[in-house]
Amino acid sequence: MARWEAGAKERLVLAAVDLFIEQGYDDTTVAQIAERAGVTKSTFFRHFPDKRELLVAGQEVLSRLLTDGIAEAPASASPIEAVTAGLVRASDAMGPINRELAPRLKVAVAANAELQARDALKTVGLTAAMTAALVARGVPDATAALASELGSLAFKRGFAVWTEGERDDDDGLTPYTLKALAELRAASASLG
């Protein structure tokens, strides 16, 4: 086994998700995950403190992409335009591995209450990060929270449609996320 083999983190996540589906989260050990991924246990622990963290591995990166997009939006951008910039930044970074892994991850999460709770906390964390980025731009708290909730929901809905679609298309995530945001904005306008 190569000590610093490229792609170890991704292989660990893929191996873990497959094992969680095959034998259940509780019955899967770190040693089994490392073996399936072709790395040592010490390599596992260089990337993750424990197996729970595998499923939120990309949360920090996703939060950073969303908040960087919001921060870099033009000063004249409305709160929802700034959120759109964050969604575009994050969606553009999603690639084939994300699309391939999502259905398997969904099955693993659905089978375990602890993983369901961690998944819910991930969404809360992303929304909080976007809210903080908007507040840093001078957006009032309530407006920032609403725009961030719409952004999180749009990302989640767009991601779900993208990952459930045909695998032979080359469409990236961005059009799906933007369509979901437009639908949510139209729906919110109809609330009266």
Tell me: do 115 and 184 sit in the same domain: yes
CATH code, domain with 94: 1.10.357.10
Tell me: do 111 and 68 sit in the same domain: yes
Q: Indicate the DSSP class of residue 111.
A: T
Non-local (6+) Cβ contacts of 135 within 8 A are 141, 144
Q: Is residue 17 part of a domain?
A: yes
Q: Is residue 46 part of a domain?
A: yes
Number of domains in the chain: 2
Tell me: do 121 and 183 sit in the same domain: yes
Q: Is residue 159 part of a domain?
A: yes
Tell me: do 30 and 64 sit in the same domain: no
Whole-angstrom Cα distance, residue 117 to residue 100?
Answer: 22
Non-local (6+) Cβ contacts of 165 within 8 A are 171, 176
Tell me: do 62 and 45 sit in the same domain: no
> How many CB atoms are located within 10 Å of the residue 18 CB?
17
CATH code, domain with 15: 1.10.10.60
User: What's the confidence (pLDDT) of residue 169?
Assistant: 67
Tell me: do 131 and 148 sit in the same domain: yes
Tell me: do 46 and 110 sit in the same domain: no
- Regions of the chain with pLDDT less than 50: 1-4
Tell me: do 81 and 154 sit in the same domain: yes
Question: Which of 54, 72, 87 is the C-terminal boundary of a domain?
Answer: 54
Tell me: do 66 and 150 sit in the same domain: yes
- Computed over every residue of the chain, the mean pLDDT equals 89
**Domain span at residue 109?**
58-189
User: What's the confidence (pLDDT) of residue 2?
Assistant: 41
User: What's the confidence (pLDDT) of residue 167?
Assistant: 62
Tell me: do 63 and 146 sit in the same domain: yes
Q: Is residue 3 part of a domain?
A: no
Q: Is residue 2 part of a domain?
A: no
Question: Whole-model pTM?
Answer: 0.82
Q: What is the pLDDT of residues 2-47, one digit of tens each?
A: 444 558 888 898 899 899 999 988 999 999 999 999 999 999 999 9
Whole-angstrom Cα distance, residue 93 to residue 58?
Answer: 11
User: What's the confidence (pLDDT) of residue 75?
Assistant: 95
Tell me: do 38 and 91 sit in the same domain: no
Q: Is residue 1 part of a domain?
A: no
Tell me: do 115 and 142 sit in the same domain: yes
Amino acid present at 56: V
